[in-house]
Structure formats: structure tokens, C-alpha cells
């Protein structure tokens, strides 16, 4: 019977900076144990049924399927979230939206809107940090709204809520102190859509027209009736789109328009305020 150490050493995943970590997560899941168990008990024998589950998971990963979809969960901020193939996998870069929102507004009562919420990652992270905020997340995909609600219920965050809406369509008359979004922003012709993990993610959560800015234009154009004054709009975008997004914000009457960089030094989000 194979041991934990032998299975980890013999597992062959495509070379990547996270290959060993991916392998550890998959084996831990197959065993139903935390990853720390693997390091504590490397000599433990692995039951045959667990080894079979591990082999099946490895096969899916070798085919390119993201670990988050295989495990059905992904960490974001301080939360662990359920994920599914009809939603984008939350990524560390998006935590910059959360950090910035927390810096811009105090913890006093405020209404916050997360457009295109997906798993609910952004909305739930904000709700967890600001118990006096009322955070609404919307998504046009009913399955995403249901998934976000399951995450909310499991985390017991009563100050967050989710609703089906294509951007602002179901929000007539509602206003918010801050709107933020990680919308689709990849150009339809981008060759990266056929590479890596994004092959398995829903195109509707990734692609936004010929230049990748169609949804960002829609969000900016529709923001004013839904912002209290002063009110902030924060948008995640591609590493080379900051200048274009700043120009769109300025043209729509936003002030204090600027961008902020992610951990890789790329201008990852742009924001502005309506007075």
C-alpha cells in the first residue's frame, strides 16, 4: 500500500510554481484531512479508496481543470468559498478591490453594491469586515446567485444579500455609497482564453467585446443614478487597460480618478468619485 510521501513524490503534474501545492491539496482532499496532516504523517499508508480518488483528481488536473473546481472550494480574503464551473474562480488580485473599499469608507452604516458577484467573494469579504455595512451582490446568472447565497448562509453574514440582476436592471431607484465590480474584461480575440485554467471558466465571466471594455463601459455609464453623492465606483480591469478606464471614468464626470497596483506591480483597479 502506498504512503502519503510516496504518492506525493510520484504524482506527476505539469511543471508550474504551484504543482507541489496542487498535489498536496488534492491528496489532502482525497483523504479528508487538512494539508498539515500530510506533513505530520508522511509515512502513513493511504487506503485504496483514497488513492483511487487522488488518482482521479490528478487526471482532471493534468487535463488542465483548475484545482478550485476539482475541490469545489477556493480561499479568498479570510473566507473559504464554494465555487462551481458557472462562476469565475476568485483570485488574490481581486482582494485589492476589497482593500480599497475598506480604505475609502468608514465602518458606519452604508449601502454597498457588488456587480457581477459570482461566488459572492467581494460582497462577503466586505460584509465580514464591516458588520454595519449592507452589502448587495447581483449577478445575471441564477446559479451564481444561488451559490453566493449558499456561501453567505454558511458564513452566517446577515448583512449581505444577493439578487439576480444584469448589472443595474433590477435596481431601479436604489442608491449606494460605493459600487464595485470585477467584470469581464478580456478581449474576445485574446489567445490566453485557450490556455491554462481559464479554458474551464465561463466565457461570460471573462470576455467583454472586441477590446474587453464593453461591460466596463456599461457599468460606468449606468452608475450615476445608483450612487449617493459623494459616491465611489471601483473597477478591476486588465493590466494594460488602466489608462482607457481612467479616461472613461473622467468622461462620465468622475473626479479623483486614479488607479492602484496589485502585488505584481500592475495597475489592476481604477476608481473615481461622483460629487
Q: What confidence tens digit (pLDDT) does each residue in 42-64 have?
A: 999 999 999 999 999 999 998 88
Q: Per-residue pLDDT tens for 76-97?
A: 999 999 999 888 899 999 999 9
Structural domain range at position 119 = 86-274
Q: Count structural domains, the chain.
A: 2
Residues 24 and 146 in one domain: no
H or E segment to which residue 114 belongs: strand 110-115
- Residues in Cβ contact with 243 at an 8 Å cutoff, skipping those fewer than 6 apart: none
149 and 29 assigned to the same domain: no
Do 136 and 185 lie in a common domain? yes
In a domain, 117, yes or no: yes
Domain match, 13 and 102 both: no
Domain CATH for 135: 3.40.50.150
| pLDDT for res 263 | 84
Bond preceding residue 79 cis, omega within 30 of 0: no
10-residue stretch averages of pLDDT, the chain, 275 residues long: 89 77 91 91 92 93 90 94 92 95 96 97 98 97 97 98 98 98 76 59 62 91 97 95 97 98 92 97
The answer to whether the predicted template modeling score (pTM) of the entire model surpasses 0.85 is yes
User: Rounded CA gap, 160 and 173, in Å?
Assistant: 19
- Is 201 contained in some domain? yes
Residues 122, 54, single domain; the answer is no
> CA 82 to CA 121: how far, in whole Å?
10
Distance CA 179, CA 169 (A): 15
Amino acid at each position: 500500500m502506498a504512503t502519503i510521501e510516496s504518492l506525493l513524490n510520484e504524482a506527476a503534474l505539469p511543471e508550474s510554481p504551484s504543482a507541489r501545492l496542487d498535489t498536496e491539496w488534492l491528496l489532502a482532499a482525497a483523504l479528508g484531512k487538512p494539508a498539515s496532516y500530510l506533513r505530520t504523517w508522511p509515512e502513513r499508508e493511504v487506503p485504496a479508496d483514497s488513492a483511487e480518488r487522488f488518482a482521479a483528481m490528478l487526471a482532471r488536473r493534468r487535463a488542465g481543470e483548475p484545482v478550485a473546481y476539482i475541490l469545489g472550494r477556493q480561499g479568498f480574503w479570510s473566507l473559504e468559498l464554494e465555487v462551481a464551473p458557472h462562476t469565475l474562480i476568485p483570485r488574490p488580485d481581486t482582494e485589492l478591490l476589497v482593500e480599497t473599499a475598506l480604505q475609502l469608507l468608514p465602518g458606519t452604516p452604508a449601502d454597498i453594491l457588488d456587480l457581477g458577484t459570482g461566488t459572492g467573494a467581494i460582497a462577503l469579504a466586505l460584509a465580514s469586515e464591516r458588520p454595519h455595512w449592507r452589502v448587495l451582490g447581483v449577478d445575471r446568472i441564477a446559479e451564481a446567485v444561488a451559490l453566493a447565497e449558499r456561501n453567505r448562509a454558511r458564513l452566517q453574514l446577515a448583512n449581505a444579500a444577493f439578487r439576480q440582476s444584469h448589472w443595474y436592471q433590477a435596481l431601479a431607484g436604489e442608491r449606494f455609497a460605493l459600487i464595485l465590480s470585477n467584470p469581464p474584461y478580456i478581449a474576445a480575440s485574446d489567445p490566453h482564453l485557450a490556455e491554462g485554467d481559464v479554458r474551464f471558466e465561463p466565457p461570460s465571466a471573462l470576455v467583454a467585446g472586441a477590446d474587453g471594455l464593453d461591460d466596463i463601459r456599461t457599468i460606468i455609464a449606468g452608475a450615476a443614478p445608483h450612487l449617493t453623492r459623494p459616491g465611489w465606483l471601483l473597477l478591476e480591469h486588465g493590466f494594460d487597460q488602466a489608462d482607457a478606464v481612467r479616461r472613461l471614468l473622467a468622461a462620465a464626470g468622475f473626479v479623483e480618478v486614479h488607479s492602484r497596483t496589485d502585488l505584481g506591480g500592475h495597475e489592476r483597479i481604477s476608481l473615481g468619485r461622483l460629487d
